Structure 1
Amino acid sequence: MNKKYFLPLAIAAMIGVSSCVKLTEDPRATLTPGNYFNTQSELDGAVTSAFRALAVDGAWGFTSKMTSYFGSDDLTTHPASNKADSREFDRLQGTTTNASMRSEWEGPWNTIYQANNVITNFEKVAATTNEAIQQRTYSGGQAYFLRGLCYFYLVRTFGALPIVTGPADITVTPAREEPAKVYELIIADLKKAAEMLPDKWTGVNVGRPGALAARAVLANVYLTMAGWPLNQNSNYALAATEAKAVMDAGKYDLMADYLDVFKTNNNIESVFGLQYNVGGQLPNRSFGATCIPDDEGGWDDFFPEINYFKDAPVCKRTDQTFHTQIKSNKIGVVRWDDPRTATHHPYYNKFRYGAGDGIVETPTQVVSFNASTNKTTDIVRFAETLLTYAEASAMAANTVSDDAYEALNRVRRRAGLPNIVKGLTAVAFRDSVVNERKYEFAGEFGQRWFDIVRLQLLPKVIARRDPNEFKDLPLNPAAVANPGPKYIAPIPFRDLNLSPGWTQNPTY
């Protein structure tokens, strides 16, 4: 008997919202599923459409994908301008009607919906040769990967979720399931993807997720489950096992130069990244203009907090990460803290370039910049896998192995830092790894925020905030007194309102 699954009314309705995006794939990929996958090319179109749905501006193609993560110390924004949505969460004052937060909710749900269509129907495509069966299996594996990845971001951002694994129907609203149940699905999906996919794609398919990408995400899943809210310490060992498998495969490595990670696409360090093409009407707007200061004519969407920058280690990576000499189009080149600048903050250097199509500048002036680039958004970098292994293996064994030290020190040496001296306790070593992650992934799509959440570091982050950090825009005093509920974002008002039986997350 076929089992029927249901999408909440608002989730199903929002599929129509994305129709304003001009897609070039087979339009049947976005319809209610039926027996329409008759050929592998149609199936390929459906998978491509699922990736595209996640990559668009209204999903993960712009900085709005991390709106609710602005409570982190690596993200703040302009005190005025049109940045109200980011400012809400930067002040720990996020609301259910925040328009930009919808990208965090709708993008993954749209992709889950389309991945479910593929998972339900891919085996219906006729395949009479081993090669055809393999290609069909690869399509299904990518859909499992996407569904697991999207649920992973949703559960860390919004907490309890409906579990939807089949065709959509708007007549019934499923209940929100607690994170532990959601993680069961995530693990199953990523394991299934790892079984069905090649280790790593090459050639024209470079950039698509392979089995090693699924295992790298799974390592992060287990590491996250070892922290808040599940606190399942047994998952440290599982995280270490998955990360070590990716390391031992020998398919990935660190780029020799840190800054080249952010100037090139699908490099040796990119385990999985979303692909972009300006000419194909799929621009990435998370690079270039978005992090260029207003003083230089940029959009000024995000930059680091003052003490986050001041606490950064003195090394080559820090020099490459931050932009500290503002090339003002009015007053010339000045330090970031010059009182004549608009925000008195340093900025991010590493996001200025795109894939060679971001900014054009001289030592003294910004010549031009683009708001739309072809830069891949790296969701998983090999540096993450190394640091996941280092932390997880130490915490699992309650001692630090030589391999764990070496995994951490590989990242540090690339940064221009000395090796961590051996002899640390497991917890002290864990703290060193977390601090390394803090700057290795500065400003990168939720990386710092998710560490803050799983280790419940928000009180420390708040306490370290510079008193001059836009002091005319104070933090939410209730959140300062009780930051716990702010680890989870609110369910968007429209979706909550159209989903009978759901209750809002606490304090929203």
Structure 2
Amino acid sequence: MKIKYSILSILLGAVAFSGCQNLTEDPKANLTPGTYFKTQSDLDGAVSAIYIQFARDGAWGFTNRSTSYFGSDDFTTDPGLNKEDFRLFDRLSGGSGNGSMVAQWQGPWQGIYQANNVITNYAKVNSTEEQKNQSAGQAYFLRALGYYYLVRTFGPVPVILTPIDVDDRPDRDPIEKVYEAIIADLQKAKELLPVKFENAPGKADQMAARSLLADVYLTMTGWPLNQASNYAQAAAEADAVIKSGQFNLSTPYAQVFTTNNGPESIFGLQYNVNGGLPLRSSGSSSVPLDEVATNGSSGWDDYYPEINFYKKAPKCKRTDDTFYTTLKLRQPDGKTFKLVPWDSPETHARHPYYKKFRAGLNGDGVSETETAINSINPSTNKVYDIIRYPLVLLAYAEASAMSGGGPTAASYAAINEVRKRAGLPNLTPGLSANAFRDSVVYERAYEFAGEFGVRWFDIVRLQLLPKIVAERSPEENPIPANTNFAQKYLAPIPVNEMARNPKWKQNEGY
């Protein structure tokens, strides 16, 4: 693997993100880790740069962060147009040369490199122990976050916990070792971080670390590790977040996706169009090609749900707020619109779309009324929530039921809190452990429909590809006959990385 860290990229990233650094001379001439990490301001800039590496367009700022997750039933794409990279994975046929998949690989690694810089150098900074620990805690959290997405997406990856030379070629480590590193980092983050940062949206805190740790333990109970003993630990971490009383579901579901940093946002990446850091997976990306605004802007048709995933959704307010089912077709006069259903022959794709990703922040994505579209913008200021409180509630519900031989009253209370906000009745009482787990997985599919791999990672850990493919509409992009589903739960290592690391063995099936 090509490993490289750059003090220059730390500085420039921090400037773009926070605007608090003032470079008056060429930093390339005299900055090294030894000369840069001196003050708390230096350290703050370095930590800000880690967040940027994850948030930028070449990482998690655009829809390509989910390229290999298009095998899920909550994601599909156009049968034509310029969507080949997404379409290949939608057909379970993606390969290592897929250009869009590079963001899934390179984004987390760049964040990990920068986190390693901070963790290696933070102790030497002239600052208080509390401030230094808070900076280091964020770096540990973000490094764990990067590895968590890498190991679930690509399987074995090198565990690199210090800056190393650009010419080094470390081996891929076993999945178990990657998870050991993730857990160690999150435990360290819990130790160093405050329970909550006041007036500092976007900073990872102790609750973010505990929430992510709950999700990590839950994932470890399924494929490929199948460590059922981790259900109890997942439940314990999630329970601690619930009992903190810091989060709630008081925000109406639709409003969650049009506002920033609400009471259920545990960790989200912050975006700023004017600062050169836009979120580009809301607005245009999720809008039909058929829709053209009065100002001439149009949709990109990048992603939308599969037909049968939509049809299987529960009948509730959350479903109404999730899916976009009546398209607005601009008429020849350029001012009026014809409203047609998603499956009308007048539409290009004949699919429902996602309503919840259209608006961006208060309409800076799609500005529209019930009967007209004023503008469609691909760059928004919307926070991208990686961890929302319902993820913790549903993790606790499943983990507590599976660790105790069946759901408890607290297990039911957790899932019913999510269902109540959705507009659904309480879940049927008296379910077995497995039936309750299946109900939680179904609930998570629709609470987090279309959200950054949540559904895909359930499909992976529970090995659900045969089931969801069997239920797939014939109208979807066709999956080749004799596809070996067992080989499709991991993405291939990008071809350039394989070329740089000739000793690596490609994932099976690629």
Q: TM-score, normalised by structure 2?
A: 0.93
Who is 2:346 aligned against?
A: 340
User: For 1:85-234, what aligned pairs fall within 5 Å after superposition?
Assistant: 85-127=85-127, 132-203=128-199, 205-234=200-229
Counterparts of 2:393 and 2:435, CA distance in 1: 17
Amino acid at match of 1:353: A
Who is 2:444 aligned against?
A: 437
Amino acid at match of 1:399: G
User: For 1:243-392, what aligned pairs fall within 5 Å after superposition?
Assistant: 243-296=238-291, 297-330=298-331, 332-356=338-362, 357-392=364-399
Amino acid at match of 1:177: D
Who is 2:295 aligned against?
A: none
- Residue aligned with 1:477, SS: coil
Deviations 1:382-407 (A, max 9, x none): 00000000000000011110000010
Decide whether the 8 Å contact of 2:190 with 2:209 is kept in 1.
Answer: yes
Deviations 1:150-190 (A, max 9, x none): 00000000000001000121232111011111000000001
Give 1:364 shift: 1.8
The structure 2 residue matched to 1:507, chosen from 484, 506, 509, is 509
Q: 1:104 to 1:93 in 2, by over 3 A?
A: same
Who is 1:412 aligned against?
A: 419
Q: 1:159 to 1:31 in 2, by over 3 A?
A: farther
Counterparts of 2:348 and 2:260, CA distance in 1: 32
Decide whether the 8 Å contact of 1:32 with 1:168 is kept in 2.
Answer: no
Give 1:23 shift: 5.4
Counterparts of 1:332 and 1:301, CA distance in 2: 22
Verify: 1:12 aligned to 2:4, yes or no: yes
Q: 1:80 to 1:21 in 2, by over 3 A?
A: farther
Amino acid at match of 1:302: Y
Decide whether the 8 Å contact of 1:240 with 1:393 is kept in 2.
Answer: yes
The structure 2 residue matched to 1:487, chosen from 444, 464, 489, is 489
Who is 1:463 aligned against?
A: 470
Counterparts of 1:193 and 1:358, CA distance in 2: 35
Decide whether the 8 Å contact of 2:282 with 2:365 is kept in 1.
Answer: yes
Amino acid at match of 2:275: G
Q: 1:298 to 1:17 in 2, by over 3 A?
A: farther
Amino acid at match of 1:201: F
Q: 1:194 to 1:394 in 2, by over 3 A?
A: same
Deviations 1:338-367 (A, max 9, x none): 012000000000001111112111222211
Q: How large is the Cα RMSD of the aligned pairs?
A: 2.0
Give 1:32 shift: 6.4
Counterparts of 1:476 and 1:18, CA distance in 2: 44
Decide whether the 8 Å contact of 1:408 with 1:433 is kept in 2.
Answer: yes
Who is 1:4 aligned against?
A: none
Q: 1:432 to 1:283 in 2, by over 3 A?
A: same
Decide whether the 8 Å contact of 1:187 with 1:218 is kept in 2.
Answer: yes
Moved over 6 A (4+): 13-22, 27-32
Give the fraction of aligned pairs with identical amino acids, expressed as a percent. Answer: 55
Q: Which runs of 5+ in 1 are unaligned?
A: 1-7
Q: 1:90 to 1:13 in 2, by over 3 A?
A: farther
Deviations 1:188-229 (A, max 9, x none): 0011001101112221x1221100100000000000000000
Q: Which runs of 5+ in 2 are unaligned?
A: 292-297, 332-336
Aligned length: 490
Counterparts of 1:17 and 1:24, CA distance in 2: 11
Decide whether the 8 Å contact of 1:33 with 1:167 is kept in 2.
Answer: no
Deviations 1:109-148 (A, max 9, x none): 0000000000000000023xxxx22111100000000000
Q: 1:171 to 1:469 in 2, by over 3 A?
A: closer
- Residue aligned with 1:350, SS: coil
Counterparts of 1:21 and 1:193, CA distance in 2: 23
- Residue aligned with 2:375, SS: strand
Counterparts of 2:184 and 2:169, CA distance in 1: 23
Counterparts of 2:235 and 2:432, CA distance in 1: 17
Q: TM-score, normalised by structure 1?
A: 0.93
Who is 1:424 aligned against?
A: 431
Decide whether the 8 Å contact of 1:255 with 1:267 is kept in 2.
Answer: no
- Residue aligned with 1:12, SS: coil
Deviates most, 452-461 or 361-370:
361-370
Deviates most, 171-180 or 315-324:
171-180
Counterparts of 2:320 and 2:373, CA distance in 1: 19
Q: 1:478 to 1:18 in 2, by over 3 A?
A: farther
Give 1:469 shift: 1.7
Counterparts of 1:114 and 1:501, CA distance in 2: 26
Q: 1:171 to 1:31 in 2, by over 3 A?
A: farther
The structure 1 residue matched to 2:481, chosen from 472, 477, 483, is 477
